Amino acid sequence: MRAVIFDGRLRFLKVFPEPEIPSGWALIRVLKTGICKTDIEITRGYKNFKGVLGHEFVGVVEQCHDPDWVQKRVVGEINVGCGECEQCANELERHCPRRRVLGIVDLNGCMADYCVLPLSNLHAVPVSMVDHRAVLVEPLSAACEILEQLELTGSEQAVVLGDGRLGILCAWVLSTVLSDVTLIGHHPEKLEKGGWRTLKTAQISANRSDGADIVVEATGSGKGLVDAMSLCRPRGKIVLKSTVVSKSKMNLSSIVVNEQTLIGSRCGRFKTGLRMMESYPDMPLGRLISADYPIEQALEAFKQTTQPDTLKIVLDMTI
Ligand SMILES: [Zn+2]
Ligand SMILES: [Zn+2]
């Protein structure tokens, strides 16, 4: 099969061995797969991962022990827990200390014609949902995780830093429950795409003296936290969404002086992401996809992903 791998170097391979199917797992034919900031970070050394990249996909089950699933269009949770620990027992496989993660930790990913995942990780995609929406379930679920972590009353003011794909998704998700959300970024074209519902956008932070109740940091850069600390009110909450490989020294005294709460936030439940997509059919997810590339042009697609005006690039296995 064809595959995009990282082995110290990003490569497209025309011939790569098809995955073995462990018992209880499904073989999935990948239709579309998104390139994520995490994939770019992996090519810079994040998690020391070597193998097939990719964790965002929509595909079709080709083979598994349960005939009900065969030929179903699916998306898949990316964390595979050990199944034995306390985290796994509480359906928190994403925090299992021995977890494997699709295309990120110890498990070949979905930037290939086929990938494998446990059947229990799969969710059927509603027939009415187009592939271009379904392929965004993983990042949308990650954005929805914020709602699970923050106990919101509805009256909070929130600021989202970063007008990339994840920042925009976080702002959209927050604006489903809050009326005062501002998305702050550097790129006018991206901010324009970010506009939805009552969401406000701004190129520079209007220096509010009182500070926001909630600041979501999704800039993808180490400096984002510094800005987040200064935009957050005393005793406010800062949600960190960027996974950055950075060794910069940072002055964290604002957290202590202003008693700000710092919340790390990563993956969310797909069930929540799919429900969000169905509840808000007008959420303009299609705007986030800048281009589709055939898998053969993966290297070019990765290069395009790092361009400042790009939002999401999708590899399409069917073109
Ligand atoms: Zn991702
Ligand atoms: Zn476990």
CB 170 within 8 A of CB 218: yes
Cα-to-centroid distance, 105 and ligand 2 (Å): 14
User: From the CA of 216, how far away is ligand 1's center (Å)?
Assistant: 17
Rg (C-alpha) for the chain, rounded Å, is 19
Mean pLDDT over residues 96-111, rounded? 97
Domain 3-125+284-316 has CATH 3.90.180.10: yes
Tell me the CA–centroid distance for residue 53 and ligand 1, in Å.
11
If you measure from the C-alpha of residue 136 to the centroid of ligand 1, how many angstroms do you get, rounded to a whole number?
Answer: 9
Angle at 13 between CA 8 and CA 17, to 5 degrees: 100
Tell me the CA–centroid distance for residue 60 and ligand 2, in Å. 27
pLDDT in tens, 250-297: 788 889 999 999 999 988 999 999 999 999 999 999 999 999 999 999
Distance 318 CA to ligand 2 centre (A): 35
Q: Report residues near ion ligand 2: CB below 5 Å.
A: 81-82, 85, 88, 96
**Residue 309, pLDDT score:** 87
* 160 Cα–ligand 2 center, Å: 32
CA of 67 to the centre of ligand 1 (A): 30
Lowest-confidence range among 169-173, 249-253, 301-305? 249-253
Exposure string for 10-48, b = 16+ CB within 10 A, e = fewer: bebeeebeebebeeebbbbbbbbbbbbbbbbbbeeebee
The mean pLDDT value for 71-83 works out to 96
Q: Are 34 and 318 in contact (CB under 8 A)?
A: no
Tokens standing for residue 231: 């935009």
CA distances from 45 to 10, 38, 221, 307 (A): 11, 10, 16, 20
pLDDT digits (tens, 9 = 90+) for 52-74: 999 999 999 999 999 999 999 99
Beta strands (DSSP E) in the chain are 3-6, 10-13, 25-35, 51-52, 56-63, 73-76, 79-80, 100-102, 106-107, 114-118, 122-124, 157-161, 180-184, 200-202, 212-217, 232-240, 261-264, 289-294, 312-316
**pTM of the predicted structure, to 2 decimals:** 0.91
**Mapping DSSP to helix (H, G, I), strand (E, B) and coil, where does residue 231 land?**
helix
Measured CA to CA, the distance from residue 295 to residue 316 in angstroms comes to 6
Residue 53 CA to ligand 2 center (angstroms) comes to 23
Least confident span in 88-92, 95-99, 117-121, 251-255? 251-255
Q: Do domains 3-125+284-316 and 146-264 have the same CATH topology?
A: no
pLDDT band at 212 (very low <50, low <70, confident <90, very high): very high
Inter-axis angle of helices 137-149 and 270-279, nearest 10: 100
Ligand minimally distant from the alpha carbon of residue 56:
1
Give the Å distance between the CA of 269 and the centre of ligand 1.
13
Asked if pLDDT for residue 20 goes beyond 80, the answer is: yes
The residue extents of the domains of the chain are: 3-125+284-316, 146-264
Cα(143) to centroid(ligand 1), Å: 11
Q: Which protein residues have their CB within 5 A of the ion that is ligand 1?
A: 36, 38
Ligand 2 centroid–CA 101 distance in Å is 12
CATH code, 146-264: 3.40.50.720
pLDDT in tens, 225-258: 889 999 999 999 999 998 765 666 778 888 999 9
Return the sign of the alpha-carbon dihedral for residues 86, 103, 277, 287: positive
Longest Cα–Cα distance of the chain, Å, equals 60
Question: 55: CA distance to ligand 1 center in Å?
Answer: 6
DSSP for 12-32, written as a single string = EES--PPPP--TTEEEEEEEE
